[in-house]
Structure formats: structure tokens, C-alpha cells
Structure 1
Amino acid sequence: MTNDISPTPVTASAVTTSALPLLPGDWELDPLHSAVNFTIRHLGIAKVRGRFRDLKAELYVGESADDVRVSAEIDLASIDTGNADRDAHTRAPDLLDVASRPTMTYRSTRVSGKDGDWSMEGELTIGGVSRPVTLDVEFGGVVDSVIDNRRHAGFEATGEIRRSDYGLDFGGGMLGDVVKIQLDMQFVEPQG
């Protein structure tokens, strides 16, 4: 891979496992344009949507997809479902218990795919319980930003977890076990 990257957006179809349109190095998270969203069933008939406001993430890009590493840490107390009372109850000891489980972390173990069909395998840890989680990843491309004159790369990742796998089986009958996750992440190219 060369460091000569076209200033025009690069689509996912240009990506292969042997060459990535991303400059090798540590890419910085753009928190203003990144989000961790989720959906869970309520009473089996409707969905509650929410997000976590506070997250940290790191993206390391090597020479190929085999050398890509992603890690993230999410502050569970930053949950936001659009209802302050529900959020306060969700943080409480009988639900998330953020006092003893303050963060959720993810560490990738493998990135694979080609064209627009990518996946990222990794390990999600909540409250000392770790389970494998695979995310489907869509590469949105790379573009020069007129805001900061730096190159930005965008990704969307989707997947699901089961609350019961992490001992979070509160709310039986009221809340579904499956939580669907959608990550919109934007990273900024390393300088120099």
C-alpha cells in the first residue's frame, strides 16, 4: 500500500483484504460524528431506542485487513433513551448497576471481507463477563474534510447481543433479551 491516497471519496468496492485505502497508523476518533445506538423490545410489541453518549475508540490500520485493530470503551452511565426517569432506573443496581459495571469494552480479534461485505470479530466485556461478538461492517469511504483539512473515514457496524449472556436478565417479560446495536463511527487520519 502506498501513502498516495486520492482526495476523492473511496467506496467500499475499492477495498480488498490485501490493500486498504487507509493510511497505516493510529486513526483518531471523531466523537462529534460517532454514535453508539441500540434497540431493545419492550413488552414484545414495541422498540425502545437509545444511545450511549460517552465513548472512546481506537482504530489501528496496518498494511492489510489482517493488521487492523479496533477497541472501544463505552460509559454505561451515559445511556440516553430520551426519558430521564427511565435512564436513571436503567443505571440502578437492579438493572445495569453502573456503580459496579461502569463500562462496556470491545476489542476486535479479526477483520475480514472484501468489497462491501466486511465483518469484525471481537470480544465484548460487560461487568467482567466477556463473550464473542461479530459485527457486520459497512465502509463508508474516505474524504477530505473542509472543516479541519484532514481525511476522515466512515464506518457503520451492526450486530446484536443477548443480555442474558452478560447476566443482565432483569425485566423478564418486559424487556427483550436481544439488543440490536448500530455503531456509526468516523475516524481521522494520522498526521505526518
Structure 2
Amino acid sequence: MTTSDSTATATTASGALPLPAGSWEIDPFHSAVNFTIRHLGISKVRGRFSEVTAGLVVGGSVETSSVTATVDLASIDTGNKDRDAHVRAPDLLDVERRPTMTFRSTRVIGKEDEWTLEGELTIGDVTKPVTLAVEFGGLQAFPGSPRRHAGFEATGEISRKEYGLDFGAGLLGDVVKIQLDMQFLEPEAAPTEG
């Protein structure tokens, strides 16, 4: 059973977070963590991380809503197996020492379908603030599922040097552009008492 449209949503003076309150789970089959980095300053290399866990908690207000995510850095996929193996190596990402990248939101602001997500991104032992521009794609039923899906696209960028990942200077750009395409599953409805 889906949560009814009358379920409370998180609100602020500027508008309402357009989702029912509760803990939303990531739909891993319809979510992706993508990135772009410049190569030799003349073109771009695009890739993705295929393994990510994330959660969205919609509170009684935007101030009590939050997002967390963990990315398995060894799951990098740039479309070239040899390059991916090199990127995982100790002289580059060093996934043995830095197995994950984690994000924890600190503030959610916005209204309607345009939001800003501020938070902390941790890679290895370095944590830095990061801001993501978030577009809310909507809330839709999924055929055969009792739970609706909420879709989001988030974009931002980080500096590799700030995380101690300054390998390949002159070959790879410092700025990594991030694009997240995420779907979250509506909280399961609480059983009703008979």
C-alpha cells in the first residue's frame, strides 16, 4: 500500500519538501554516481561508480531532513579495464587505503523542484564541505510495486588536490564534476490496526 497524498511533508517558510516524511531507501537499479574529469586539458574522461548505498530521511521540516551516501571507490568504471585497474592502484586512488567515499548532508535549502544540498564529503582521512545543486524530478508509482519512487538529479564539483589526490598533474584536471541520478523508494506504509 502506498502512503497517501495526505501524509505530512517537510515544510519551511519558503515551501514544502514534496515528499512524505520517513526514511527513503535508494533504488540501486535506477541510480548512478557519474563523474567527468579533463584529460590533457583537451578532452574529458567520463566514468561512474557502480556500487553506492544511500538514504534519504524526510523529517518534519527541511531542517530535520538529511541525506547520507557511501560509494565503493573500487567500483569505478571508465569503460576501460586497464585504466580502471590503474586508477585503483596505490599511486592513484589507492582503494586499499581509501576504500570508500562518504557524504553526509548538513543543510537542505530550496523550494518546489530546485534545492541545494550542503554537506561534507570524506575521501580517506580528508573531509571537506561540498555543495550540490539538486533538481527534484518528481514522485511516481512503479508498475507492480506498492511503493512510489522519487527522482533527483544532483550536480557539483570537487578539487582533487583538496583530498590529497593530486596525482597526474598536467595529465588530469584538478576539478572533478559530479552528476548524481538517484531514485529513492517511498517508506513502507505502517500496518493499520484492525
- Which residue pairs with 2:182 in the alignment? 185
Helix, strand or coil for the counterpart of 1:20? strand
Matched, 1:19 2:44: no
Whether the 8 Å contact between 2:16 and 2:111 is mirrored in structure 1 is: no
Provide runs of 4+ in structure 1 moved above 3 Å. 15-18
Measured against aligned partners, the alpha-carbon deviations of 1:81-116 in whole angstroms (never above 9, x if no partner) come to 000000000000000000000000000000001133
- Which residue pairs with 2:9 in the alignment? none
What's the CA shift for 1:64?
A: 2.2
- Which residue pairs with 1:175 in the alignment? 172
- 1:4-153 counterparts in 2 under 5 A? 4-5=4-5, 17-153=14-150
CA distance in 2, matches of 1:62, 1:164: 35
Residue identity in the other structure for 1:57: A
Whether the 8 Å contact between 2:166 and 2:174 is mirrored in structure 1 is: yes
CA distance in 2, matches of 1:41, 1:105: 23
TM-score by length of 2: 0.90
Measured against aligned partners, the alpha-carbon deviations of 1:145-181 in whole angstroms (never above 9, x if no partner) come to 1132311100000000000000000001000000000
Aligned-pair RMSD on alpha carbons? 1.5
Share of identical aligned residues, percent? 68
What's the CA shift for 1:18?
A: 4.5
Change in Cα spacing, 1:89 to 1:49, as seen in structure 2 (3 Å) is: same
Which shifted more, 108-117 or 182-191?
108-117
CA distance in 1, matches of 2:59, 2:16: 10
What's the CA shift for 1:186?
A: 0.2
CA distance in 1, matches of 2:14, 2:161: 34
CA distance in 1, matches of 2:125, 2:70: 13
Whether the 8 Å contact between 1:50 and 1:79 is mirrored in structure 2 is: yes
Q: Which runs of 5+ in 1 are unaligned?
A: 7-14
- Which residue pairs with 1:160 in the alignment? 157
Change in Cα spacing, 1:19 to 1:115, as seen in structure 2 (3 Å) is: closer
Change in Cα spacing, 1:152 to 1:159, as seen in structure 2 (3 Å) is: same
CA distance in 2, matches of 1:40, 1:109: 26
Change in Cα spacing, 1:43 to 1:22, as seen in structure 2 (3 Å) is: same
Q: Which runs of 5+ in 2 are unaligned?
A: 7-11, 190-194
Change in Cα spacing, 1:52 to 1:16, as seen in structure 2 (3 Å) is: farther
